Structure 1
Amino acid sequence: MNKGSIMDSEDRIERTVDIYISAEAVRDMKHKKNTEDFNTTTTTTTTTRKPQHTGSDGVKIRSSRAAVVCLVLVCVLLLTAVIVLCVTFTQERNQLLTNNMNLTEERDQLKSEKNYHRKFSAGVCQFFSLNGGWKCHQSSLYLISSEKKSWTESRRYCTDRRADLIIINNTEEQDFVKNISGGDLVWIGLTDRDVEGRWKWVDGSDVTFRFWQPGEPNSFQGKEEDCAVNRSPGWADYPCDYSSKWICEKSIFK
């Protein structure tokens, strides 16, 4: 091969290398540009998507937070109120249950006492009826005499037997006296010997129930009539030394 041919070959090789290098440089520049454009686009997108809070947005956020806080406080207050009501209701219910139990116990006790009193009274009445001829009425025992004495002697007879002349407190007891006396005149425990005109029962109590006959008491014909008798249809004042039957009375529980 001659010298001129060799030189032409070298020139072609150099041009080919330059073309290759130039092509590579172009690709590198294009890749770099694409990379820069991508980064720029990404940065721009990120920057664009970053939320920007204005003053109005801040007010809205604070308002929302305040509303949440108020809602929480209201819930707490409601829960507290419900707890207080539940506790109060429970306490009142327990108190009512306790009161009901106490009332039930008292009722049962009263029933028991009433039954005891009834049985006791029946036993006492039976005993005194068989031993002395006493009669029962309500919570008292009564004995009508078969002989006659003055008011003072009649009362002594009663007190010797742990009793006293009868004290009449109501219409029912007055009717009972009329029944057991058979309409006979009998001394009762009423007198005004201490203060004229001021009638009192033998236990010192004032007369609240009155069953005087019409015109009584009257101290008939100026006589001292300081003691009372029961006769049909009611009471009358008589001289205390008058001889009459009498009625003694004493409580079953004495």
Structure 2
Amino acid sequence: MSDDIYNNVIKTGSEGMTTERVDMSVDIYESADCVGDHELRTETNIQQSPQHTGTYSVRIRSSRAAPVCLVLLCVLLLTAVIVLSVYIHTKSTNYTEERDQLLNKITNLTEEIDGLIIKKTFYQTSFYYMPNETKNWTESRRYCTERGADLIIINNREEQDFVNNMSGDAVVYIGLNDSDVENTWKWVDGSTLTSGFWASREPNGDTRENCVVTVAVPKLPYWPGLVGWLDVECDKAYQWICEKNISQLI
């Protein structure tokens, strides 16, 4: 019996020790697993750290790139606005200059037309017009010839009266001069003057005054009391009368 008790004790003790060993082994393994897991997580974290650092760097670069792109966009927009403004201003200036030039041409043409319309009429077999401007004798004649006419030739008293009514109080050139031979007065068609409608004590200019104007109303104070033809210096500016035969209009 005592042997049985002893054996039981030994067996019991052995089993208890075995059980304790098993328990301890489990605890050790579990501890080791925990340590291993911890180390694994730590290594994983350590290994992952560079990736997180790279991501953070990319985020920093992205956050810096956004303002730079915005600034560049603003600069491009500002440049486009400036270029467009300069273009519009240049076009506007050109259009303004072209408009002013066109208006000047229209004004000049209107003045020229008005000058022709103011004094334009028919008499017998001729068409007459007196521009509302002044030129010297040579330029006056050129104006007429460029339009298929010439300075007026006065053939008789009726035509002289007609000219007086047409000219009013203006001093006008007629187609008569003695530029070739002094005191030999010739009309623009080459015919020589036989009689005329000279004012009192005219012509009297000698070689200084070789062209002729007609005055219907005395011009004070220059020619007081003088009515009719006067010889004058050819480079003086006066109005003039052009004459064109009606047959040339047909």
TM-score, normalisation: structure 1: 0.46
